[in-house]
Amino acid sequence: MTDWLTEKFPEIKKVGDEPELRPGIVHRLDKDTSGVLVAARNQNAFEFLKNQFQNRNIVKKYLALVEGNLKTDKGTIDLPIGRSKIDFRKKLASEKAKGELREAVTEYKVLERFNVQHSMSNIGSYTLYTLVEVYPKTGRTHQIRVHFKAIGHPIVCDSLYGGKRMTCPYGLKHHFLHANFLEFVSPSGARLKLEADLPEDLSEVLEGLRKK
């Protein structure tokens, strides 16, 4: 990603808080999370956009497929997040977290539920999945993944937070989390709405589940 950006827009090589690592890139997506990512071509634009993220003036939407059946059609997960005492890679939404707990709020809306039977017989086993649209109101590291893990519905195929119940339907190789929408004000004053379609591998998972 950064190689492509610097080749396409060489002026961004000196833009950002850490231009040597993340030239021009205003915000973060977790590794293996697909979707919309914003980059600035000059430092003034970078600071302008960064300020909107910090002040929570950005509208963010994600699509996530989670394990199990989310019984409420809409909900808010309001759980502070801290670092894991055991695994430095992980965050936790519980009193077992290390250090300071930081406010974290995630809203969601159920879009679709799936009940997948694994046997042709009437007594075959089932796997339940729920497709949700997610609206993070804060921007903590791993926030969406940690919050759905905390309520017992981890993101599908999440190797870090999925635990023993992790499943990877239809050969999925990474967690099912996609940043599909961003809305913000550009430095010119225009209100922009950016959308990103699901990548092919995530679309194939949904197509497969819908055929069951």
Task: Label residue 82 exposed, middle or buried (CB < 10 Å: 0-12, 13-18, 19+).
Answer: buried
Q: What does DSSP say about strands 98-102 and 105-117: parallel, antiparallel, or unpaired? A: unpaired
Beta-ladder partners of 40: none
CB of 153 closer than 8 Å to CB of 68: yes
Cα-based torsion angle of the residue sequence 39, 3, 204, 171 in order, rounded to the nearest 10 degrees = -130
Q: What DSSP line would sit under 35-68, residue for residue?
A: E---B-SSHHHHHHHHHHHHTT--EEEEEEEEES
Using DSSP's 3-state secondary structure scheme, residue 147 falls into helix
Q: How many CB atoms lie within 10 A of CB 14?
A: 12
Active-site pick, 3, 17, 30, 158: 30
Report CA torsion sign: 153, 157, 163, 165.
Answer: positive
Active site residue 17: no
Which residues are designated catalytic? 30
